[in-house]
Amino acid sequence: MGLTWRQVVVLVGWAVILIGFIVWTAVNLLKADLNAHPNVTFTAPERDKYSDVYVVIDRTGSILEADFNLQKEVIAERIVPSLGLGDSWTVYRIDAIFTNENVICDSNRSESKSLDMPRGLADPKMIPVGGPIHGATDREIQLINSLYLLWDNLDHARDSCKAVVTNLQRPPKAPARTEICSVLDHLQRMIQGRENPDAREAWLFIFSDFGQNTNGRYSCGGYDFRGVHVLLMYPENPESKANLLQAKGYFHNAKVQDLPLLAATRTSQLRPGPFSGVPRMKKLIPSQKESLLPLLHIELWVFCIAVVLWSSFTWRVWRAD
């Protein structure tokens, strides 16, 4: 005895449900894989090493108020934004004397510990070559996700430092005496004591008129700043230029450049860090499993409802025939 046409319809319906389930599952697997490996774009970093950055700002009475404000502008707008993950930075002020109070911004303080790079990601060489990547690999996704929370911490640390510099004031009747030598003594010890100096760049930015004139000292001795990038920025007046010629001799074995303050406001004074080219995502990139589960949840509900309804129809057909 053959099947009735209604029974054939029932069997075809079961085949459609099964095939639909298989196709839907395959589509969801593909969607999950695409969500877990999106197309991303890495831009080539402008420097391939972390940097230890030291910034010195002169707020003594020998600096005109307009030049003092230019110093703050260059630091806040042309240096701080380029500080990146893995970098360290310290900002000092020059006064008539030098003490621990002269440190006004320090990334190594406890509130900035969250900027430490995750273990296994500390080597900038692991960053992919710049350009679009179609279907990021698991390693690239791990890098993007590992930096996800650090970006906000970096923004907070930079914004805090920028606010401190922008709001820096000079004391009433600031003396015209400038103590540069003690600052350089301290910086030489700090730079020479750095960990792993061959793997990191050192940058020293000094904003001043370079007129050392305290404690009977009118010039400083020679300092070994071997391999350090030194940029001296000064007000454009004859006295500052004369002091600058003398000050450039303080920095032995260093790469010394100088730049007028006004010119320094027009260009970035520090290249962005190694991780500046890693894409910043608005949310964590999910794994394939995390992407698949919500899709399967909907699919299974639909499949179960279809099975229940078609089972009921099947029972009625077989019973009637």
Bigger pLDDT: 148 vs 214:
148
Which are the contacts of 35, defined by CB distance < 8 A and separation ≥ 6? 285, 286, 288, 291
Which are the contacts of 317, defined by CB distance < 8 A and separation ≥ 6? 6, 7, 9, 10
Reported confidence tier of residue 150, pLDDT bands at 50, 70, 90: confident
Question: Would you state the pLDDT for residue 25?
Answer: 87
C-alpha span between 260 and 254 (Å, rounded): 19
C-alpha span between 224 and 222 (Å, rounded): 7
Which are the contacts of 83, defined by CB distance < 8 A and separation ≥ 6? 51, 53, 89, 107, 154, 157, 158, 161, 270, 273
Closest CA to 101 of 91, 110, 111: 91
Rounded average pLDDT over 118-134:
62
Closest CA to 48 of 127, 145, 112, 135: 127
Spacing of C-alpha 240 from chain mean position: 35
Q: What is the pTM for the complete model shown?
A: 0.80
Residue type at position 269: Q
Question: Would you state the pLDDT for residue 119?
Answer: 59
- Percent of the chain having pLDDT more than 70? 89
Whether the predicted pLDDT of 113 surpasses 60: no
Q: In a 3-state reduction of DSSP, which class is residue 107?
A: coil
Q: Which residue's structure tokens are 């400083």?
A: 220
Measured from the Cβ of residue 277, the count of other Cβ atoms closer than 10 Å reads 18
Reported confidence tier of residue 6, pLDDT bands at 50, 70, 90: confident
Strands 103-106 and 88-94: antiparallel
Angular region, 196: left φ>0, alpha ψ -120 to 50, beta rest: left
